Amino acid sequence: MSKSTTTTEFKRWLAELKTRIHQSQIKAAIRVNSELLLLYWDLGRDIVVRQMETNWGSGFFEQLSKELRTEFPNMKGFSERNLYNMKQFYLFYSQDNTILQQVVAKLENPIFHQLGGKLQQDENKEITIRHQIGNEFTTHQIFQIPWGHHVQIITKCKSVKEAMFYVQKTVKNGWSRAMLMNFMETDLYHAQGKALNNFERFLPDYQSDLAKETLKDPYNFDFLMLTEDYKERELEDALVENITKFLLELGQGFAYVGKQYPIKIGKRERFIDLLFYHLELRCFVVIELKTKEFEAEHTGKLGLYITAVNHQLKKNTDNLTIGLLICKTKDNIEAQYSLESSNLPIGISEYQLSKLLPENFKSSLPSIEEIEERLRDNGNETKKIKNK
C-alpha cells in the first residue's frame, strides 16, 4: 500500500471519527437536557398533585428555592421564578392529557391512567411508575428542546396544539431561542400552510403536502423600511438587501438564486422577480411580487415563468417548479378561480408591511457627503477651541 493511499484512508477515517464524536456530543447534550426536563416535569407534577402552595402557603416557592439552592449551590435553575415555571410546564402540557395519553397508551398497567389525577398512596409504587414513565417520556419531543425554549412556548402559546407545532419545528430545524421567538412573534402557527394553492392537482401527494405546509399567508415584511408609495422594484431590492431576514420569513429550505433573473422566452428576454430553490421540495420556486391588489392576469405571467424555468433550468432530478405570487391584497374568490383555471402549481399569498415612512422622509435626511462635511466642520471647530 502506498503512502498516499494510507494518508487518504487515514484522512477519511479521521473525518468519519470526527463526525461520530460530534454526533455523540449532540446525543449526550440531548440526553442531559432530557434528564433535566424530566426532573422539571416531575417537580412541577409534585407541586400540582401534592397541592404544595395550598398546604405550605404563599411563601412556598421562596422557601423551596432557598432549600434547593443551599443543597445544590452549583446547580442553576432553582430560582422562585423557575420553580413556578416548572409548575406551569406540567400544568400546560397535561391540561388536556394530550401528552400523557401518548405515554400511558404504551403501558398496560391501569394505574398509569390515574396520572394527573389523584396521587398514589403507595410511595414505592409511585417511584416505580415515575421511573417507567421517565424512560418513555424522554423519547417525546417536548424533552428534546432546551428549557429556555419551553418558557417562551408555555407563556405565549394558547393551546397544546400550538405549542407542539413550535416544539416540532424547533426539533426539526434546530431553531435557536431567538429564531423561535421571531417565528412566534410573526405567528407562524396561524400563517403557515394558509396560502391559496392548487398543488393537489399537479403535484404528487408527498410534495403537495410539503409545498402547502411550506407556504404562508400572510408574509410579514415589517423588517423592511420603505417609504409610502413604494414601487415593486423597491420592495424587491429591499427584500434582497435583507436577504437573511427574508429567508427566515420564507422558512426552512429556501436557497436564494437571484433577483430579476434573466430568462429568454422566444425573442424576448424576461426577468423573474425572485428565483429560489427549495432544498426539501427539490424544485425551483418562482416568486412574483405585486404591490397592488391581486389581478387574475398575474397568474398567467407567473405561469409563463414557471414553464420557462421547467424548460431551461430544471434538471431531470428536480421536481416540477412551483410559483408563489405575493401581493399586497387579494380577493380570495377571484384568486381561487384564477388558480382553478391555471394548469401549473401556484400559491397566492398576501404580505404585511406596517412600518412605512413618509414619502419626504428620504429627502429630509442628510446625504453621506453632508454628514462627512459636518463632521469635518465639527473637527475644525474643536481644534480652534483647543488652540485658544
- Cα torsion angle, 96, 31, 139, 254, sign: positive
Q: Are residues 55 and 199 in the same domain?
A: no
Selected residue with higher pLDDT from 376 and 276: 276
Residue 203 lies in a domain: yes
Residue 41 has pLDDT above 80, yes or no: yes
Q: Which residue has the higher pLDDT, 265 or 353?
A: 265
Whether residues 252 and 335 fall in one domain: yes
In the block, residue with C-alpha cell 394505574: 111
Give the type of residue at 195.
Answer: A
176 within some domain: no
- The x, y and z cell numbers of residue 232, run together, are 415593486
In three-state secondary structure terms, 157 is coil
Q: Tell me the average pLDDT across 255-282.
A: 93
Same domain, 198 and 332: yes
Q: What is the total count of domains within the chain?
A: 2
Q: What are phi and psi of 378, to 5 degrees?
A: -65, -35
Question: What are the strands, taking DSSP E only, across the chain?
Answer: 196-197, 219-220, 226-227, 254-265, 268-278, 283-293, 322-329, 346-352, 356-357
Sign of the Cα pseudo-torsion (113, 116, 117, 119, in order): positive
Domain containing residue 238: 194-361
**251 & 347 share domain:** yes
106 and 204, same domain (yes or no): no
Distances (CA, A) of 67 to 60, 63, 224, 230, 323: 11, 6, 50, 61, 60
Looking at the structure, do residues 212 and 349 belong to the same domain, yes or no? Answer: yes
* Residue-level pLDDT at 234: 87
Same-domain status, 216 and 139: no
> Please, are residues 273 and 288 in contact by the beta-carbon 8 Å criterion?
yes
Per-residue pLDDT tens over the stretch 96-124 = 666 665 544 433 334 334 443 433 344 44
Q: Which contiguous run of DSSP H or E holds residue 77?
A: none
Q: Dump pLDDT digits (tens) for 329-377.
A: 999 999 999 999 999 999 999 998 876 655 554 444 454 555 556 556 6
CATH code for position 312: 3.40.1350.10
pTM: 0.60
Same domain, 203 and 346: yes
- 10 Å CB burial of residue 138 (0-12, 13-18, 19+) is middle
Q: How confident is the model at residue 305 (pLDDT cuts 50, 70, 90)?
A: very high
315 domain residue, yes or no: yes
Kindly report, residue by residue over 119-128, the tens digit of the pLDDT: 334 444 444 4
Domain shared by 324 and 218, yes or no? yes
Mean pLDDT over each residue of the chain, to the nearest integer: 78
Q: Is residue 374 domain-resident?
A: no
Same domain flag for 125 and 219: no
Q: Is residue 156 part of a domain?
A: no
Same domain, 41 and 117: yes
Using an 8 Å Cβ cutoff, are 168 and 192 in contact? Answer: no
Whether residues 224 and 111 fall in one domain: no
Where does a domain end: 86, 121, 144?
144
Distance of CA 49 to the CA centre of its chain: 34
Asked whether residue 199 is assigned to any structural domain, the reply reads: yes
Least-confidence region, from 48-57, 284-293, 305-314? 48-57
How do residues 177-234 score in pLDDT, each as one tens digit? 887 887 888 788 888 778 899 999 999 888 888 898 889 888 988 888 877 778 888 8
